Amino acid sequence: MTSINEGTIGKLRRRAGLSMLVGLLIGAFGAEPAADTVYAVGNPVAPGLPSELYRFNEDGSMDRRWGIPESLFALSLTNLGSSLYVAGAGGAINRYDLGGNFLGQFADVSGLAGQTPLFQTLESDSAGSVYAAFGGAGGAARTSFRIDPNGNVSQTFSHESLVFPRGIDATGSGDVYIVNSVSFFFGNRLFKFNSAGTYIDDYAIPETVFPSDMAIDEIDEEIFISDEFGKAIQVYDISSGEPIFSNTIPAPSFVLDVFIEQGAGRILGTYVVVGSDSAGSFTKFVGFEVMRDGTVVNLYTEDAAPREQSVRSIVALPDSDSDGIPDVIDPDRVAAVVSALPVGSFGSASDPRGQRNALLNRLDNIEVQILAGDVEGALRSLANLRRSFDGCGGSSWKMPDFNDWINDCGAQQDVQDAIDALAANLSLMM
C-alpha cells in the first residue's frame, strides 16, 4: 500500500483550492482541468519570414499557425485569461487573442531595464500580473518588472548582483524569485524579493549548470528551472521560504523554456537540438511535456520538416472538456451553472425542463460561433441571452419579470455572473 504523508495531503488540498481560484478568475467554477490547449511561439528557419504563433492538438501535432510580424524574433510567451503575450528581440511585449489576432502592444519596459537588455523572458501569476526580466551584454545590474493588466509597471525588482536575469515568477503569496546566471558552470543564484520589491535574500543553486528560464508552481510551492546545459529541469521546494533542491527532471536535450500549468501541475518546456544531416547542419526547437521521472508525455511539433522545427516558448490553457475551446472562453462553463439550477428555477410553469434545454441550446449556438471565430457575434448573442433573465436587476429583493426565463433572483445572479465572466474574457479577443 502506498502511504500519503501529511505534506502530500496538504499539497493536494492546496492544488484543489488554487485550481478553484484560477477557475473563478477565468470564468470557470472549480473543475479540475482534464486537457489543455497548447500554444507556442517560434521563428521559422527561412530568413525573412515573420515570427509565428502555433496552436497544437492533443497529440502534439500542429492545429493552426499564424504569422505575427509585430513580434520581431519571438522568444517568450505567457498568458492571462484569453490573451497571449509575446516578447521579442525588440523589447515590446505584444498581445494576441486565442485566434492569433494582434491586439496591440501591451508594454515595452526595455528602456527601463538597464544596460543592453536582451533575451526577455515572461511569466504571469494567478493574481493577473505579467512579469518580465532581461539578460544582456555587459556586467551592469538589470531591473526586472511586474506589469499590471493595463500594461503599467506596478513594481520593479533589482539588486547590484542581479546582472543576468534568465527568468522571473511569483508565488501565490506574492513573493518574487528571479534566477540569475553569472557565468557558465559557476555562480548561478536565485534572488528573492517580497511583493513590494524589497530584496530578501539570494541563494546558491549549484545543481543548475546554466539556467535559461524558470516557472513557479503556486500550489505545490516549487520552482522549476530549465537548465540548458544540464539538459534537465531542476526543481526546488520553496514551502519553507527558501529554495531547497528536491529533484532533477531529465529532458531530451538543451532546455530553453519551462511552463507549469497551475490547474493540474503539468510540466511543459522547449528544447533545442543542434545537428547535421545530408542537407547540412541545422538547429531545431521542439516543445515537450514531461513527467517528474523524465518520461516524455508529448512532443509539440509544427508542420515543417523535422530539421526545421521552431517551437521556442510554450504555454498550456486548461480545456476541461477537450472541445477545442479553452475554459477561459468556453460557454460550457455557463452551461454547467445553468444545469445545476433546480428545475423550479425556470420560468415556464408548463415546461420548465424545456425552457432549461432551450437556454442550453442557445449556449451551444454561442459555442459554435466561438469555434467559427465570430467573437463579435458570440458577444451579441450572450448579451441577448442575458436579457432573457434580468428582471431582478441584480437585487435579491426584487421580483423577476413575468417573462424571465429564470424566476429566482439568486439563480438569475449566478447565471449572469457566469455570462459576465465569459463575456469579459471574450471581449479581450476583440
Q: Could you count the other beta carbons within 10 Å of the beta carbon of residue 246?
A: 14
- Cβ–Cβ contacts within 10 Å for residue 142, how many? 24
- The answer on 232 and 205 residing in a single domain is yes
Mark which of 263, 288, 318 sits at the end of a domain.
318
The reply to whether 235 and 151 lie within a common domain is yes
Under 8 Å CB-to-CB from 404, ≥6 apart: which residues? Answer: 347, 388, 389, 390, 391, 392, 412
Within this chain, do residues 183 and 151 fall inside the same structural domain, yes or no?
Answer: yes
**Domain assignment of residue 323, yes or no:** no
Place of cell 499539497: 11
Interatomic CA distance for residues 322 and 301, integer angstroms: 19
pLDDT of residue 395: 52
pLDDT at 29: 32
d(CA 168, CA 191): 9
For residues 223 and 348, membership in a common domain is answered with no
Together in a domain, 181 and 213: yes
343 part of a folded domain: yes
**Alpha carbon distance 171, 242 (integer Å):** 12
Conformation bin of residue 306: beta by default, left when phi > 0, alpha when psi is -120 to 50: alpha
Question: Could you tell me if 300 and 227 lie in one domain?
Answer: yes
End-to-end CA distance of the chain: 53
| C-alpha cell at position 233 | 529541469
Co-location of 274 and 136 in the same domain: yes
Task: Count CB atoms within 10 A of the CB of residue 58.
Answer: 14
> Does any domain span residue 184?
yes
Task: Please state, as a whole number, how many other Cβ atoms lie within 10 Å of the Cβ of residue 51.
Answer: 24
d(CA 30, CA 333): 10
How many other C-beta atoms lie within 10 A of the C-beta of residue 183?
A: 10
Residues 358 and 242 in one domain: no
CA distances from 283 to 43, 60, 86 (A): 11, 20, 22
Q: CA quadruple 111, 155, 100, 252: dihedral positive or negative?
A: positive
Same domain membership, residue 234 and residue 344? no
Distance CA 41, CA 260 (A): 16
Q: Find the Cα–Cα–Cα–Cα dihedral 221, 171, 28, 344, rounded to 10°.
A: 80
- CATH code for position 251: 2.120.10.30
Where does a domain end: 289, 318, 347?
318
| 324 is a domain residue | no
Q: pLDDT digit of tens for each residue in the chain (430 aa)?
A: 333 344 444 444 444 444 444 444 433 333 333 367 899 999 876 666 789 999 998 889 998 999 999 998 899 999 988 899 999 877 899 999 888 989 999 999 999 998 778 889 999 998 889 999 998 777 788 999 999 999 999 999 999 999 899 999 999 999 999 999 876 555 689 999 999 999 999 999 999 999 999 999 999 999 999 999 999 999 999 999 999 999 999 999 999 999 999 878 899 999 999 999 898 999 999 999 999 999 999 999 998 888 889 999 999 988 777 787 888 889 999 999 999 999 999 987 788 899 999 999 999 999 999 888 888 999 999 999 999 988 787 555 566 777 789 988 899 999 999 999 999 888 876 6
Structural domain tally of the chain? 2
Specify if 15 maps to a domain. yes
Task: Please report whether residue 145 resides in a domain.
Answer: yes
| Domain end marker among 293, 318, 343 | 318
**What's at 426, amino acid-wise?**
L
Residues 376 and 282 in one domain: no
Same domain, 336 and 413: yes
Instruction: Give the integer Cα–Cα distance in Å for 183 and 13.
Output: 39
- The answer to whether position 1 is within a domain reads no
Residue numbers of the domain that contains 401: 331-427
The grid coordinates of residue 193 equal: 524579493
Residue 196 located in a structural domain: yes
Same domain, 113 and 169: yes
